[in-house]
Structure 1
Amino acid sequence: MTTDPTPEQTPRQEALDEARMSIIEHLAELRTRLIYSIIAVFVGVIACWFFRDQIFTFLKQPLLMAAPEGQIELSNIHHKDLAEPVFAMLKTALVGGIFATSPFTLYQLWKFISPGLYSHEKKIAIPFVVLATLFFFGGAAFCYYFVLPYGFKFLMMFGLEVSSTPQLMMSEYLSLVTKLLLVFGVVFELPILSMFLSAMGVIDHNTLLRHWRAAVIGSFVAGALLTPADPMTQVLLAVPLCVLYFISIGVAFFFARKRKEKEERVMKELDELGE
């Protein structure tokens, strides 16, 4: 025999049902945004496949820049079997597709989180996408023009000192380069993340300042985990991470002040209405 829910149980059950529906709706929205992003990347990969040779040549330039003068043969890339170039070119097209469609992917990320924002917070959609794209490409450019040439040069010179000549494999080289480009691109999004969270009131500059020591240590740990085992490349990731963290503090301070000014203005308007 079933019993009717008591008046005390009904509101609780309704709250649980609303929470359950909210989670389901969020998961459905996440699935939709992921599908759109995957389709966009797939289209980008197909488009980049027709430019695979140019993209591969572009990705090889840091290695050519690192080769000592008169020893350009050290930058030659080999493949161990007949199928390796095919998979390497697919990886090249994939990375090209990810970068080419990154503005659309970032917009889908914004569409996923925007339902939980206030109307005035949704107005920063275009600045968010533009800045996030610029910082993503900026991080990849920093890696391409500074980290990779100096890191490769260090490793080449170290190998020559021990009378060892590198035999670079196509797949391993592309895996290393693409991983570092993507890592630096994502890492450079830190100020944008700080801007977004501080605008929402999730964090402020005081929170970031309290944890700056842990952030510095974490930057060097991340540099050790995400880069090859040479100190040069590790430092070239850790130092920008530290700089970006302190830039994020300034960004958080700016948005926290703007939010505080707006709250004070709203409170003043409410007080005037109350009078």
Structure 2
Amino acid sequence: MAKKEKDMSFLGHLEELRWHLVRSASAIFIIGIVLFIFQKEVYEHFLLAHRKSDFITYEIFCEFFSFFSFDSTFCNVSFTNNLISLKPTQQLMNALWSSFILGIILSFPYLLWELWRFISPGLTKNEVRHSKGFIFIASFLFFCGIAFSFYVIAPISIHFLYNYQISELIQNNFTLDSHISLVTNMLLGVSILFELPVLIYFLTKIGLVTPEFLRKYRKHALVVVLILAAIITPPDIASQVIVAIPILILYEISIKVSKIVIKKQQKNAQKSPRV
């Protein structure tokens, strides 16, 4: 009888998980449909915004370098060639895929809420009380990563890559897919990197990471961050430093987060009655 109840409990968890996944997929699907309906606005004002010479980042960088009397290519940004669509179905498929990716990005807080709803019944009242801010903090960091990628990394990278030329005998004619993939990969990649404090929080909770470990390997982390910055940005020092600084700040915040978790665990251990 006990085995049957156990089996039913397991099946009940699977059924509950299925409905959480269904609701999450529905949210992505609905937002994706809305984005697909307004695909022209989404492309012109978001996905292709970095190809406009009056993009706000180019203007800010131009004014910044001009203030210090430095010549900058950001003051004369231009994209003469249009993107190329090589297949009859390419624009349609790209619009569908972009709507799906942006649907995931915009529904991220709801996806976290569904995840929290699934795991919260297995938490204690104290754990539930302390985890209520998880959705807000994780979503805030995620969208900070989106903003940083969209307004800093993407324009710097696109400006450099579109103007990079080995020889005048080579002409840059980029496809629609390559440009959109570059932008969406940056958005998702950087936003995931911005979740570092949340990741460190959970790794500390389960005992895989400690503040001492993070401090000990701080120099190693610096090297890794610089390598990541070199991968996702143009090969110049200024761009790499611009990208590396917020990630290093997040690493230091992660050390503080890990320290707080350890202190709370030690405090709870002291309060718990000894057997």
Give the TM-score band, short-chain normalised.
0.7 to 0.9
Q: Does 1:245 align with 2:223?
A: no
Alignment correspondent of 1:11: none
Give TM-score scaled by structure 2 length. 0.75
1:132-147 map, 5 Å: 132-147=138-153
My pick for the range that moved more, 199-208 or 244-253, is 199-208
The one-letter amino acid paired with 1:96 is L
- For 2:200 and 2:136, the matched residues in 1 are separated by 15
- Pair 219,73 (structure 1): closer, same or farther in 2 beyond 3 Å: closer
- For 1:202 and 1:106, the matched residues in 2 are separated by 23
Q: Deviations over 1:220-260 (max 9, x none)?
A: 454566x37x4357666555434322220111112322333
- For 1:108 and 1:135, the matched residues in 2 are separated by 18
- For 1:235 and 1:142, the matched residues in 2 are separated by 14
My pick for the range that moved more, 197-206 or 92-101, is 197-206
Which runs of no fewer than 5 residues in structure 2 stay unpaired? 59-72
- For 1:256 and 1:100, the matched residues in 2 are separated by 33
My pick for the range that moved more, 105-114 or 231-240, is 231-240
How many residue pairs match? The answer is 251
Correspondence for 1:258 among 257, 261, 264 = 264
Q: Deviations over 1:173-223 (max 9, x none)?
A: 111111110111111111122234445655431232233344334434545
Q: Which has the larger radius of gyration?
A: 1
Cα offset, 1:55, TM superposition: 1.3
Cα offset, 1:104, TM superposition: 0.8
1:161-200 map, 5 Å: 162-163=167-168, 164-199=170-205
- For 1:22 and 1:214, the matched residues in 2 are separated by 45
Which structure dedicates a bigger proportion of its chain to helix?
A: 1
- Pair 69,166 (structure 1): closer, same or farther in 2 beyond 3 Å: farther
RMSD: 3.4
1:27-106 map, 5 Å: 30-57=17-44, 58-64=46-52, 65=55, 72-74=78-80, 76-106=82-112
Give TM-score scaled by structure 1 length. 0.75
- Pair 109,199 (structure 1): closer, same or farther in 2 beyond 3 Å: same
- For 1:27 and 1:88, the matched residues in 2 are separated by 34
- For 1:102 and 1:241, the matched residues in 2 are separated by 21
- For 1:241 and 1:71, the matched residues in 2 are separated by 28
Alignment correspondent of 2:157: 151
- For 1:190 and 1:75, the matched residues in 2 are separated by 38
What percentage of aligned pairs have identical amino acids? 28
Cα offset, 1:146, TM superposition: 0.6
Q: Deviations over 1:9-68 (max 9, x none)?
A: xxxxx99x97x9988776655444333322221111112112211111112112324686
Alignment correspondent of 1:10: none
Do the aligned partners of 1:140 and 1:181 also contact (CA within 8 Å) in 2?
Answer: yes
Do the aligned partners of 2:145 and 2:194 also contact (CA within 8 Å) in 1?
Answer: yes
